[in-house]
Amino acid sequence: MYEKAFNDEDVAESDLVTRRGTFRAVAFKADGHEHMALVFGKIRMRENVLVRVHSECMTGDIFGAMRCECGEQLDASLEAIVREGSGVLVYLRGHEGRGIGLVAKVRTHVLQDEQGLDTLDSATELGLPVDIRDYTPAARILKHLRVQTVRLLSNNPDKIEALEAHGIPVAARVPLLMAPNTHNIGYLTAKRDRLGHDLPQVDVYPTVQSGRSAQ
C-alpha cells in the first residue's frame, strides 16, 4: 500500500509559468523549512527520472555570486530538465553554506577573503561543521511525487548515498560541470580535493588558463 509521505496540510501545488516553460510547482513544509519541487512533464511512477536536488544558496542562486557555482548549476539543471522533456528540481531550504545558515556562511566568506582559508577550513575555524545538510526532505518529496528511480544531476557521490539511504534508488549520476572562473577555482578545488566531488573540469583549468595567456 502507498504510504503518504506528507500530510495534505503540508503540501500545496499549482502551475508555474516560467521563462523556460510551465512547471508544476509543489511546495512542502518539512522539519521547520519550506521546500519546493519544480516538476516538468510526466514523472509519476516513472523510472530514471532526471532529478536535481539543489541546496539553497541565496548568494549564488539569486544574486549570481561567482564564488561558488550554485547559481549556474541551478540554471543548467532546469535547462537540462526542460531539454529532456521531463524531470524534477527539488529546491531544499535550510542548506545555506552546507547547512550552517546564511550569517555563518557570510562569516566564512570573510575568513576566505582575509585569511585565504578554503570553504572547509573557514567553517571549522568558526567552530562550525563542514556539511550538515539533511536530505531526508528530498527523499520524502520524491516519494510524494511517486518517482520510482532517479538519474541524479550532481557531482557529489555523498548525495547519492544519502538519497539511497533514504529509499530513493539512484540509477545513474549525471555530471553537472560548470566552467571554473578565477573567483571560484579555489572553492571548486577544495570541493574536489577535500569533499570528494567529481570535478574533472577543475583538473584542466590551469592548463586552459596558461594556454590562453601564452597566446
Residues at the annotated binding site for GTP? Answer: 52-56, 73, 96-98, 119, 154, 159
Q: What is the largest CA-CA distance in the chain?
A: 65
Sole window of 25-33, 49-57, 104-112, 134-142 interacting with Zn ion (rule: CB under 5 A)? 49-57
Task: Compute how many other C-beta atoms are within 10 angstroms of the C-beta atom of residue 131.
Answer: 15
Distance, in Å, from the CA atom of 44 to the CA atom of 112, rounded to the nearest integer, reads 43
Tell me the three state secondary structure of residue 116: coil
Which residue has cell 592548463? 207
Distance, in Å, from the CA atom of 141 to the CA atom of 62, rounded to the nearest integer, reads 23
Tell me the three state secondary structure of residue 191: helix
CA 16 to chain centre: 21
Based on the residue annotation, tell me whether 10 is a catalytic residue of this protein: no
Tell me the three state secondary structure of residue 75: helix
Sole window of 51-59, 105-113, 121-129, 156-164 interacting with Zn ion (rule: CB under 5 A)? 51-59
Q: Which of residues 57-76 bind Zn ion (CB under 5 A)?
A: 57, 60, 68, 70
The single-letter code of the amino acid at 97 is: G
Smallest gap from residue 68 Cβ to Zn ion (A): 3
Smallest gap from residue 202 Cβ to Zn ion (A): 16
Q: Which is nearer to Zn ion, 103 or 214 (CB)?
A: 103
Smallest gap from residue 75 Cβ to Zn ion (A): 13
Q: Which is nearer to Zn ion, 70 or 145 (CB)?
A: 70
**Residues touching Zn ion: how many (CB under 5 A)?**
4
67 contacts 187 by C-beta, under 8 angstroms: yes
Based on the residue annotation, tell me whether 131 is a catalytic residue of this protein: yes
Smallest gap from residue 67 Cβ to Zn ion (A): 7
Q: Which is nearer to Zn ion, 55 or 140 (CB)?
A: 55
Distance, in Å, from the CA atom of 82 to the CA atom of 42, rounded to the nearest integer, reads 12
Q: Which is nearer to Zn ion, 10 or 134 (CB)?
A: 134
Residues that bind Zn ion (CB under 5 A): 57, 60, 68, 70
Query: Which residue numbers are catalytic?
Result: 131, 133
